[in-house]
C-alpha cells in the first residue's frame, strides 16, 4: 500500500487549507481503502482455502487493519478541515451581509436626515415667503363658483312660504314664527336665503346679484344671530 505517500500528501493538503483538494484527497483515500479492504478479504479467503495457520493469517490481517485505521484518521482530519472551512465561509458571508445591512441602514438614515433638513428649510421658506405661485396672479386658481344643487334649490323655494308667514303675522316676533316652523339650522339657512333675496331686490341696476348656493359668509352672518340676542336678521 502506498499509505505513507498518501499520508504525506494529506498533510500537505491540510497545510494548504484547499477545500477542493481536501475533497479530492478524501475521496481518493476512501477509494483506496475500499480496494485494499476487498483485496485483503480475497487474500484471506485464499489463505483459509489453502489451510494456512489462522494465527499467521490474523497477524497478516493486522498489518492491513493498521493501515486502514490510518486512512480513516486521514479521512477524519480532512472532514474536520472541510467543515471548518465551510464554517469560516458561512461566518464570513454572515459578517459581510451584516456590514452591508449596516451600511444600507446608515445610508437610509443619512438620506432621511437630509430629507428632514430640506423639508424644514422648505417649511421656513413657505412660512416667510409663501409658495412661488402666490406672487404671480396669472398662476392663481380660478374663483370657485358655487353650483346649485337639488337641496339648495329646495331651500330657495321655501323663501316665498317663509315670507308669507312673516307677512301673515302681525303681532309677536317673526323669528319665533320661523323657529316654530323649522329647526334652528334650517331656520338659519332659510333666513340666509331671505336676506339674499332682500339684498338682491335692493341692488341698483347694473350691479351684480348674488346667485348660486349659499356661501360661507352668508351662513356666518346668520349664525352670529344664533349666538347673540335680537330679532332674526333678514
pLDDT per residue as tens digits for the range 17-62? 888 888 888 888 888 888 877 877 787 777 777 777 777 767 777 7
Angle in degrees, 0-180, between the axes of helices 3-16 and 19-50, rounded to the nearest 10: 160
Residue where one domain finishes, among candidates 129, 161, 183: 129
Residue 212 confidence class, pLDDT cut points 50, 70, 90: confident
Answer yes or no: do 64 and 174 share one domain.
Answer: no
Answer yes or no: do 14 and 75 share one domain.
Answer: yes
Q: Please check the confidence at residue 193 and state whether its pLDDT lies above 90.
A: no
Residue 202 confidence class, pLDDT cut points 50, 70, 90: confident
Q: Give per-residue burial for 137-148: e unless 16+ CB within 10 Å, then b.
A: eeeeeeeeeeee
Distance, in Å, from the CA atom of 198 to the CA atom of 173, rounded to the nearest integer, reads 19
Q: Please check the confidence at residue 1 and state whether its pLDDT lies above 50.
A: no
Category of 213 on φ-ψ map: left (φ > 0), alpha (ψ -120 to 50) or beta: beta
Give me the domain span that covers residue 186.
170-233
Distance, in Å, from the CA atom of 153 to the CA atom of 200, rounded to the nearest integer, reads 17
What is the DSSP secondary structure assignment for residue 206, as one 8-state letter? Answer: T
Q: Is residue 157 a part of any domain in this protein?
A: no
Return the sign of the alpha-carbon dihedral for residues 30, 31, 36, 42: positive
Give the pLDDT mean for 150-175: 59
Helices (H) and strands (E) in the chain, counts: 7, 0
Owner of C-alpha cell 346649485: 148
What is the Cβ-side half-sphere exposure of residue 208, based on CA atoms within 13 angstroms?
Answer: 3
Q: Is residue 115 a part of any domain in this protein?
A: yes
Residue 209 confidence class, pLDDT cut points 50, 70, 90: confident
Reported in sequence order, the residue ranges of 152-233 that DSSP labels E, i.e. its strands, are none
Category of 212 on φ-ψ map: left (φ > 0), alpha (ψ -120 to 50) or beta: left
| Distance from the Cα of residue 179 to its chain's centroid | 55
Answer yes or no: do 27 and 90 share one domain.
Answer: yes
Answer yes or no: do 125 and 176 share one domain.
Answer: no
Q: What is the pLDDT of residues 103-157, one digit of tens each?
A: 999 999 999 999 999 988 888 887 887 777 777 888 887 777 677 777 777 766 6
User: Whole-structure pTM over 0.75, yes or no?
Assistant: no
- Of residues 78 and 48, the one with the higher pLDDT is 78
Q: Is residue 134 a part of any domain in this protein?
A: no
Q: Is 7 exposed, middle or buried (0-12, 13-18, 19+ CB in 10 A)?
A: middle
Give the pLDDT mean for 171-199: 74
Q: 187, 179 in Cβ contact below 8 A? A: yes
- pLDDT at site 93: 92
Q: Is residue 152 a part of any domain in this protein?
A: no
Residue where one domain finishes, among candidates 109, 129, 149: 129
- Kindly state the cell numbers that stand for 13: 493538503
- pLDDT at site 22: 84
| Distance from the Cα of residue 57 to its chain's centroid | 76
Mean pLDDT, rounded, of the chain: 77
Amino acid at each position: 500500500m502506498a499509505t505513507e505517500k498518501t499520508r504525506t500528501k494529506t498533510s500537505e493538503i491540510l497545510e494548504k487549507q484547499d477545500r477542493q483538494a481536501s475533497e479530492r484527497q478524501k475521496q481518493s483515500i476512501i477509494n483506496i481503502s475500499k480496494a485494499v479492504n476487498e483485496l485483503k478479504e480475497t487474500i484471506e479467503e485464499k489463505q483459509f482455502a489453502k489451510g494456512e495457520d489462522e494465527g499467521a493469517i490474523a497477524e497478516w490481517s493486522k498489518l492491513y487493519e493498521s493501515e486502514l485505521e490510518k486512512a480513516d484518521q486521514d479521512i477524519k482530519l480532512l472532514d474536520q478541515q472541510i467543515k471548518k472551512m465551510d464554517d469560516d465561509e458561512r461566518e464570513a458571508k454572515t459578517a459581510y451581509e451584516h456590514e452591508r445591512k449596516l451600511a444600507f441602514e446608515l445610508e437610509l438614515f443619512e438620506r432621511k436626515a437630509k430629507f428632514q433638513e430640506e423639508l424644514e428649510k422648505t417649511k421656513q421658506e413657505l412660512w416667510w415667503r409663501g409658495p412661488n405661485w402666490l406672487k404671480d396672479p396669472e398662476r392663481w386658481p380660478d374663483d370657485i363658483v358655487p353650483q346649485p344643487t337639488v337641496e339648495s334649490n329646495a331651500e330657495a323655494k321655501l323663501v316665498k312660504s317663509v315670507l308669507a308667514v312673516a307677512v301673515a303675522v302681525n303681532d309677536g316676533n317673526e323669528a319665533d314664527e320661523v323657529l316654530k316652523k323649522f329647526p334652528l339650522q334650517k331656520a338659519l339657512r332659510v333666513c340666509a336665503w331671505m336676506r339674499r333675496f332682500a339684498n338682491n331686490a335692493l341692488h341698483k341696476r347694473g350691479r351684480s346679484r348674488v346667485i348660486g348656493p349659499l356661501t360661507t359668509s352668508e351662513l356666518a352672518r346668520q349664525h352670529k344671530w344664533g349666538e347673540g340676542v335680537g330679532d332674526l336678521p333678514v
